[in-house]
Chain A
């Protein structure tokens, strides 16, 4: 094969792995942005340590970014990479086992000195001791090459060496025939105030690209054609947290309200606060408060004052917001609470994915305090779910819990943008008429009146004490408490009337139904499609609305012999479904490893279930 030979591939997974200081996340994101503009479908999975800079060169400090791109429609960031870029021994040793047999392994030999090996806890050099037999190892001293490429650049040695990730990116761009322009544009903008850095990185990028060709390191290179028959429209590459931020702002707009975000930084939800802080010209107020409790409490105050209050957090923060969430339930104020889930319990695995807050979201409050729960499945779905959360919150005068997770938050995919005119508004009408006004009179959906301070004649008091169902005054009456409890319950259950019944994807009926929620959607869909193609009567049912559960599930469950629920927890949705639908048996399939399911392992497990008598 000559070095010029261009081979078509339809489905590629690349993982960039290096030290936390090597800029692998940035490299991955640039590759993603460029790949999106080429027209491939893609999904990404960044995987980084909780420490900002763990000791350099150690296994603890390895940061990875995986991208799966394809000329077809795809659902996951890929099971196993076919290309692995390893910037140092620690990155190599912690990642090479995932590489597909025969896969390309691009290694930066410039970081393989004795001391580098020692930092990675290696006694011998994997490049020479046979560890890597079975892979196509491409050895290149990227450090040295980068220094050479920048020989006549006026930068310190340290700064020059920092450009090595762009050199590497250039090589991979050549390998997969990607254009350099989008990244060059990005560099120009990013370093507008430091043009020397823009120039140096651009030089490194181009050098990597050219050397990829000239040095004949790879046996040919590849093209991954764009997706044919992709739905027509305008697309944008989007990460989950950003989509969620945009969705919250859009949701408030569609309600005819201004957004107010009260929050506190917590991994992996912080980006939402950061992003919304930029959107001040969209009628958005953000307050970074002194703690999680103040975050939700300011949001409740803002809702009382007539804005749409929101708060964003992760599991530990949700635990702190618990009491205030109950206040929002009993005061019946609209509020969107976002929980970007991470590994728990306690501090757990702050930068890893888990779905283990579902039951906390459902039940984590004192008293009878029902809250609708919805969960997003992919980065772009986070936009739709955020809008949906705003709709339910304002239409039903209730706090809403919106669950995302670390995998969605930091993952990226192409997003077909909704047509603005097709976004359906759900305008809020504030109470203004003092005639017969009571803060607890309700509409047909059981949503109470919303009268905001500043409205003449509607002065009223709300609060954490039980209120009389009619007057809204404090009431300790036993009958009234029962009645109010039932009303709050009925109001939330009534949301079912406004949500569609989800439809199973795959066989209409048959041997197996896989019920999934949140980010397990992608791997489940991929696994089920593969099995279905093999002739198995299997289907995937995705639940966006966790509470209340949509109507019609009973009938769907009845069509399949077996039901399994794969979750990144110990079976929380399965437990919920089991209690709601005791006539069916919901098998649990748990993975609590800080990593998402792979389609392959799901498929294998489903096949096993089908074998069971």
Chain B
């Protein structure tokens, strides 16, 4: 490999015309990922992006990297194969709330528990967009969609809680309309060794416009969300004058100076889970940023370590060893 040259975001743009609806939140995620990859110090040819099916899953076509636009829900499984086959690659999964949490829910939880070293970006728009507006596993109860004309009866998943429950070593949340925040989160995900789960609140302008605007619009964002930063106090509010205080079990609003310090590296996923419960309390801000970041051996690394260890003990097997075992006999 030649000496690594500094890549730019535009180097990651493919020659394909981007075909998302005008105003779609996907555009900013595309820019965010391109900028993040450029800064990672990884050779461009070592990136692999795998997606499933859905609006978000067109992503690989727009990226000048290796990529596979696969089948519905299976990106995590395919990406697992890519990463285990060649751990030198930087493997990214692009998925959505339908793709990753409904049809692909099984692969999602298993790739998280196995801690495969890959970055999973879940575009959550709380709707099926590509099939034109049916309720998804994150659509709030009661919402009217094309398949729930009288209101959805399904209790939604909280993606953060699902990831925490599956044993994810890195769990974070960001939003399409705050590129700066997104870059910080994507960078943290990129630097994480292991499965990194990032939920991105992404606005679908056509079928679910404004799903997150009560939290993401500039005018309310600072009041309605709290940005969690490791080792820093949990402060929010337009004037950054409010804080969150926690004893690990419950969370209260307090003054900025009384706020507790956020620690996403806690051994137990409990504090992150408690924090994610704020989503259910209309009087509390919703947590953004890195909720969990812990270290655990990755599947891919362990697979290769095991291959190395067995080869070390038994010696590298040849075709002859494979066929001519000790229980052979000769006919002369």
Which positions in A face B, CB cutoff 8 Å? Answer: 33, 36-37, 39, 230-237, 246, 249-250, 253, 260, 262, 279-285, 287, 289-291, 293-294, 297-307, 309, 323-324, 326-327, 331, 416-418, 420, 423, 452-465, 473-474
Q: Which of B81, B307, B320 contacts A298 (CB 8 A)?
A: B81
- Are A285 and B85 within 8 A (Cβ)? yes
Task: Add 4 more A-B contacts to A281-B311, A291-B106, A323-B71 (CB < 8 A).
Answer: A39-B329, A289-B110, A293-B107, A301-B85
Chain B 53-109 interface residues, beta-carbon cutoff 8 Å to A: 53, 60-61, 63-71, 74, 77-86, 88-89, 106-107
Q: If A331-B68, A464-B69 touch, does A301 touch B79 (CB 8 Å cutoff)?
A: yes
Query: Distance (Å) between the CB of A93 and the closest chain B CB?
Result: 36
- Are B322 and A249 within 8 A (Cβ)? yes
Q: Which of B80, B84, B303, B322 contacts A246 (CB 8 A)?
A: B322
B249 at the interface (CB under 8 A from A): no
B320: nearest chain-A partner, CB-CB: A420
Chief secondary structure at chain A's binding surface: mixed
Which residues from chain A contact B214 at a C-beta distance below 8 Å?
Answer: none
B16: nearest chain-A partner, CB-CB: A473
- Would you give 21 A-B contacts (Cβ < 8 Å), ordered by A? A37-B327, A233-B331, A234-B324, A279-B322, A280-B307, A285-B85, A291-B106, A293-B77, A294-B77, A297-B77, A298-B81, A299-B81, A300-B81, A301-B79, A416-B331, A417-B324, A420-B320, A454-B46, A456-B2, A462-B67, A462-B68
- Are B45 and A285 within 8 A (Cβ)? no
Which residues from chain B contact A250 at a C-beta distance below 8 Å?
Answer: 319, 322-323
Query: Distance (Å) between the CB of B136 and the closest chain A CB?
Result: 20
B239 at the interface (CB under 8 A from A): no
- Are A287 and B303 within 8 A (Cβ)? yes
- Are B328 and A294 within 8 A (Cβ)? no
- Are A280 and B61 within 8 A (Cβ)? no
B325 at the interface (CB under 8 A from A): yes
- Are A460 and B71 within 8 A (Cβ)? no
A235: nearest chain-B partner, CB-CB: B329
- Are A234 and B82 within 8 A (Cβ)? no
Q: If A285-B307, A459-B64 touch, does A453 touch B45 (CB 8 Å cutoff)?
A: yes
Which positions in B face A, CB cutoff 8 Å? Answer: 1-2, 14, 16, 43-48, 50, 53, 60-61, 63-71, 74, 77-86, 88-89, 106-107, 110, 303, 306-307, 310-311, 313-317, 319-325, 327-332
Which residues from chain B contact A302 at a C-beta distance below 8 Å?
Answer: 81-82, 84-85
- Are A293 and B331 within 8 A (Cβ)? no
B299: nearest chain-A partner, CB-CB: A287
- Are B314 and A453 within 8 A (Cβ)? no
- Are B307 and A236 within 8 A (Cβ)? no
B331: nearest chain-A partner, CB-CB: A230
Report the Cα distance A462→B50, complex, angstroms. Answer: 10
Which residues from chain A contact B14 at a C-beta distance below 8 Å?
Answer: 461
Query: Distance (Å) between the CB of A317 and the closest chain B CB?
Result: 14
- Are B69 and A465 within 8 A (Cβ)? yes
Which residues from chain A contact B327 at a C-beta distance below 8 Å?
Answer: 33, 37, 236-237
- Are B78 and A279 within 8 A (Cβ)? no
Q: If A250-B319, A301-B78, A327-B71 touch, does A461 touch B330 (CB 8 Å cutoff)?
A: no
Which residues from chain A contact B306 at a C-beta distance below 8 Å?
Answer: 280
Query: Distance (Å) between the CB of B186 and the closest chain A CB?
Result: 20
Report the Cα distance A281→B107, complex, angstroms. Answer: 28
Which residues from chain A contact B319 at a C-beta distance below 8 Å?
Answer: 250, 253, 420, 423
Report the Cα distance A293→B76, complex, angstroms. Answer: 11
Among A37, A327, A463, the one with the most B-chain Cβ atoms within 10 Å of its Cβ is A463
- Are A301 and B81 within 8 A (Cβ)? yes
Report the Cα distance A465→B70, complex, angstroms. Answer: 8
Which residues from chain A contact B50 at a C-beta distance below 8 Å?
Answer: 301
Which residues from chain A contact B1 at a C-beta distance below 8 Å?
Answer: 456
B80: nearest chain-A partner, CB-CB: A298
- Are B89 and A285 within 8 A (Cβ)? no
Which residues from chain B contact A37 at a C-beta distance below 8 Å?
Answer: 327, 329
Q: If A301-B77, A464-B70 touch, does A232 touch B332 (CB 8 Å cutoff)?
A: yes
